[in-house]
Chains A and B, each alone.
Chain A
């Protein structure tokens, strides 16, 4: 039992938490961009599934995980355009459309998997660890920081990138303007539909990347591979108050609590029925923080509101 408190186990648990956080982080960062532009996408889970299957299938067929990654991204772009068409061009209700996208992704990937693949076949995913050589020289801390695969670094690198995009660029300014007051932005000559479409495509591309990261990291695909991660990512956007750093904190918290629960079970600190309750800990914790945070920080004023010039 006391083994849990050894440095190596704690490091392994934190490293595991970081790995678990990656799909949440990628998907939630993308969703944050979309929501800052006033578009809610409840279909993140479905897009993640499509990204995961595209990446897996492409990698399975070609033997190239990099090509798989590309296909995951491409499927995200395609789904982004579809969602923009539905919500921006056709002004459909965002909540329902998102659920439609989710159900489409769930059923469609399952169908394609059954038809094209059948039995789960392992692929060699993106296992390259670019900084592994540093991990050997820098001891335990190095193991925590440098023992990850490329996509983990990409995910965390995207935090400052998205922050910069939203807060330091004209595009980001327009995104925020469109998300807060699209009518005002429109009168100032900002293309509300154009900005929203771009934000949606960015969000969906990152959801596709999140799914691809999941499939390529595990090296397999299965029905409902994402297991609700897309929905948790949406919650983490609220948790992080629509700010990239907040989203990262939420993702890390969720991942590390999950990995801690797993490790506590391995060490027999918790077992039996207690473990069933402990498995809920990440979700419960997220909801609690969500309630506290979202009371203090308001959401983008025009979130979920379709834009038309007459409105």
Chain B
């Protein structure tokens, strides 16, 4: 009798837990599908088959949708297309407006790498260049990303953006299977010689250099700490550019660099910040999504912070001085126009200050001396006209 009682009790508790969990969800995603912003509803769709961790994610929201499958002709519902894997959709594909899918490694609101692309695609949706937009974010497992990329290509998206340098391997395998689909891959400078792959990258060293110049003027201890993830890609460029800028501005400044070895380890980034502070740093910067750990430590210790990839002011209004913001829409806009014109790839785009692709955004709440702001602008001008070099 006792085990039965325990069993019933456990079942009851499980039921309560399940109810509580169900209660936590909200129905935001039922909002009109024409607005792509609340992406999570559609983002996991192509992943359904292979990613057990995401299985539970789309269920709640999508269940009602599937019932409505026969109503596919309704225009606002069309962006749900990837979840419907039946053949009939393909008939409509050639007629459809321009559809873009993004596969990215971290959350679409990470205030860093993925958000920079998420915001960019939304900007092009607003401007009307892109009609439909789907995203699968959080695919830090490369195999999952590969499945998502293939899924979107299979669904007939016009442009599939593999937003992560680690996605090169799967993309190289997938792209030849879909010669009519254009792929964009970044940050990278290689198109694998494939006619339907664009690559894009960013001269993050440029904004890093400007941040470094400003940081060197604001440090009092002359010790600056930098927290990088892994010594590759735009993170490395940013870190190197920052160090060059800081020492160019003030050769007495000591720039200490730590790579935590992880894009995701927030706690380690926090400890890296603590290590910098114990070594005397009064200004910190860092790249990648794990820096949210470091900004907390900076805030706690009243240490200034310089951001990159997205405007990181919300992470600490008292400490964030400036952020280098990626505005991928500048590059993306060109890619979209070329794809529309029939050129599906074969070109590499590098984003710089030119055309506003890179932007240094200062925190308005900070009292930054006018001469420092002027030096930042002079540095941007110098980097743009070539009179200043980051050494990259």
> Hey, which bits of chain A sit against chain B, CB under 8 A?
3, 8-9, 12-13, 16, 19-20, 23, 78, 81-82, 84-85, 89, 100, 103-104, 106-108, 110-116, 118-122, 125, 127, 191, 193-194, 197, 214, 217-220, 222-225, 227, 229, 258-259, 262-263, 265-268, 271-273, 275-276, 279-280
The 7 residue pairs across chains A and B that have the minimum distance between CB atoms: A279-B261, A12-B278, A107-B53, A227-B265, A103-B53, A265-B258, A119-B109
Task: Determine which residue in B26, B109, B258, B270 has the highest number of CB atoms from chain A within 10 A of its CB, and name it.
Answer: B258
Task: Determine which residue in A272, A273, A279 has the highest number of CB atoms from chain B within 10 A of its CB, and name it.
Answer: A279
The answer on a CB contact under 8 Å between A122 and B272 is no
Other 6 A-B pairs with CB < 8 A, given A85-B14, A122-B296? A107-B53, A119-B314, A220-B293, A223-B264, A265-B257, A273-B231
B107 CB contacts on chain A under 8 angstroms: 110, 113-114, 222-223
Q: B281 — nearest CB in chain A belongs to which residue? A: A266
CA distance A204 to B165 in the complex (A): 37
The answer on a CB contact under 8 Å between B261 and A280 is yes
- Pick the interface stretch among B3-11, B190-198, B355-363: B3-11
- Pick the interface stretch among B54-62, B210-218, B371-379: B54-62
Task: Determine which residue in A104, A110, A116, A119 has the highest number of CB atoms from chain B within 10 A of its CB, and name it.
Answer: A119
Task: Determine which residue in A81, A125, A197 has the highest number of CB atoms from chain B within 10 A of its CB, and name it.
Answer: A81
CB distance from A214 to the nearest CB of B (A): 6
Could you mark each residue 256-299 of chain B with 1 if its beta carbon is under 8 Å from any beta carbon of chain A, else 0? 11111110111110111011101100000000011011011001
CB distance from B222 to the nearest CB of A (A): 14
Query: Does B315 belong to the interface (CB within 8 Å)?
Result: yes
B268 CB contacts on chain A under 8 angstroms: 20, 227, 258, 262
Using known A-B contacts A82-B17, A214-B267, determine if residue A89 contacts B10 with beta carbons closer than 8 Å. Answer: yes
Using known A-B contacts A78-B13, A262-B272, A276-B231, determine if residue A220 contacts B266 with beta carbons closer than 8 Å. Answer: yes
Q: A79 — nearest CB in chain B belongs to which residue? A: B17
CB distance from B163 to the nearest CB of A (A): 15
The answer on a CB contact under 8 Å between B271 and A16 is yes
The answer on a CB contact under 8 Å between A120 and B110 is yes
CA distance A127 to B11 in the complex (A): 38
B279 CB contacts on chain A under 8 angstroms: 3, 9, 12, 263, 266-267
Q: Would you list which residues of chain B between 91 and 109 have a CB under 8 Å from chain A?
A: 106-109
Q: B272 — nearest CB in chain A belongs to which residue? A: A262
A279 CB contacts on chain B under 8 angstroms: 259-262
Q: Would you list which residues of chain B between 1 and 54 have a CB under 8 Å from chain A?
A: 2-3, 6-7, 10-11, 13-14, 17, 21, 24-26, 28, 40, 51-54
A122 CB contacts on chain B under 8 angstroms: 292, 295-296, 299, 315-316
Using known A-B contacts A122-B299, A218-B267, determine if residue A223 contacts B231 with beta carbons closer than 8 Å. Answer: no
B230 CB contacts on chain A under 8 angstroms: 276
Cross-interface CB contact of B271 among A20, A112, A276, A280, cutoff 8 Å: A20
B278 CB contacts on chain A under 8 angstroms: 8-9, 12-13, 16, 263
The answer on a CB contact under 8 Å between A224 and B2 is no
Using known A-B contacts A122-B295, A222-B292, determine if residue A275 contacts B231 with beta carbons closer than 8 Å. Answer: yes
Using known A-B contacts A89-B10, A120-B292, A122-B295, determine if residue A227 contacts B262 with beta carbons closer than 8 Å. Answer: yes
CA distance A82 to B108 in the complex (A): 31
Of the four ranges (under 10, 10 to 19, 20 to 34, 35 or more), the interface on chain B belongs to 35 or more
The answer on a CB contact under 8 Å between B14 and A82 is yes
> Hey, which bits of chain B sit against chain A, CB under 8 A?
2-3, 6-7, 10-11, 13-14, 17, 21, 24-26, 28, 40, 51-57, 106-111, 115, 138, 140, 225, 230-231, 256-262, 264-268, 270-272, 274-276, 278-279, 289-290, 292-293, 295-296, 299-300, 314-316
The answer on a CB contact under 8 Å between A127 and B300 is yes
CA distance A116 to B292 in the complex (A): 18
Chain A residues touching B, majority SS: helix
Cross-interface CB contact of B40 among A20, A84, A111, cutoff 8 Å: A111
CA distance A264 to B341 in the complex (A): 53
The answer on a CB contact under 8 Å between A16 and B6 is no
Show 16 A/B contacts (Cβ-Cβ < 8 Å), sorted by A.
A9-B278, A9-B279, A85-B7, A106-B53, A111-B40, A115-B24, A116-B26, A122-B292, A214-B267, A225-B266, A227-B267, A227-B268, A258-B268, A262-B275, A266-B225, A273-B231
B108 CB contacts on chain A under 8 angstroms: 114
CA distance A19 to B270 in the complex (A): 11
The answer on a CB contact under 8 Å between B258 and A262 is yes
B315 CB contacts on chain A under 8 angstroms: 120, 122
Q: B40 — nearest CB in chain A belongs to which residue? A: A114
CA distance A53 to B146 in the complex (A): 28
Cross-interface CB contact of A265 among B140, B259, B316, cutoff 8 Å: B259
The answer on a CB contact under 8 Å between B275 and A13 is yes
The answer on a CB contact under 8 Å between B261 and A266 is no
CA distance A39 to B7 in the complex (A): 18
A16 CB contacts on chain B under 8 angstroms: 271, 274-275, 278
CB distance from A151 to the nearest CB of B (A): 13
CA distance A110 to B55 in the complex (A): 12
The answer on a CB contact under 8 Å between B266 and A222 is yes
CB distance from A2 to the nearest CB of B (A): 13
